Amino acid sequence: MALLHAAASPAHRGGLARYGIPDTHALGVPMRDIQALGKRIGRRHALAQPLWDSGIYEARLLAAFVADPAQLTTTRMDRWCRAFDNWAVCDTMCLHLFDRSPHAWTRVVAWARKRDEFQKRAAFALLAGLAVHDRRTGDAPFLEGLGLVEAAADDARNFVSKGVSWALRAIGHRNAALHAEALALATRLAASDDATRRWIGKDALRDLTRPLVRAKVATSGKGRAKKT
């Protein structure tokens, strides 16, 4: 905590609100400094819970870099997820910790059923993180993930709809087979009468039809057998 306080910047703290991040419990430490501190400390799992319990924004971000994903329990993941009150803590936890946990896939399914905006966003931020970082899992869980995307695509809340689009795009970047499935879903959503589904579909189509993305998936694997 002393290292976080030493790196604090009142000017940075004052700018958090512009990004939709509450500054009530923030110190004003830039993310690059938090990541550097996390790298310096390394995975020290016993430190993560006290950092989280402090309630300080930057301490909770740092917890994502020092907790050991192999030691996470579903109870702790759920408890932390229930406390998410902004997109930055939600996404940092999902992309730097939760997506490395052996329980990650079960949390995607569980959190996709939640009503709270940031808990539900966590399902799709985690799904997006898995699409990028989980290189061992085959296509089947991601195809099921597309089903979750379609089911949630009518949730008009800002952080949910953006998370759903993010997951759809990330899955479409994995390989040619998943790109085709994601593209088909995006096309269906873009033709919907529902404004939110239509926005998500069009947002994903803009990305998935880019020549760079098409070229990338054309040279990727054609799909993998599901990990057992």
Model pTM score: 0.92
**Does 111 fall in a domain?**
yes
- The amino acid at residue 99 is D
Q: Which residue has the higher pLDDT, 24 or 187?
A: 187
Q: Are residues 49 and 139 in the same domain?
A: no
**Domain coverage including residue 51:** 1-67
Lowest mean pLDDT among 8-22, 24-38, 86-100, 184-198: 8-22
State the chain's mean pLDDT as an integer.
94
The answer on 148 and 94 residing in a single domain is yes
Tens of pLDDT, residue by residue over 53-83, are 999 999 999 999 999 999 999 999 999 999 9
Q: Is the pLDDT of residue 226 over 80?
A: no
Q: pLDDT grade, residue 221 (50/70/90)? A: low
Please state at what angle helix 139-152 crosses helix 158-172, rounded to 10 degrees.
Answer: 150
User: Do residues 157 and 224 both lie within one domain?
Assistant: yes
pLDDT at residue 223 is higher than 50:
no
Half-sphere exposure of 134 (CA within 13 A, CB side): 28
Do 191 and 127 lie in one domain? The reply is yes
Residues 137 and 60 in one domain: no
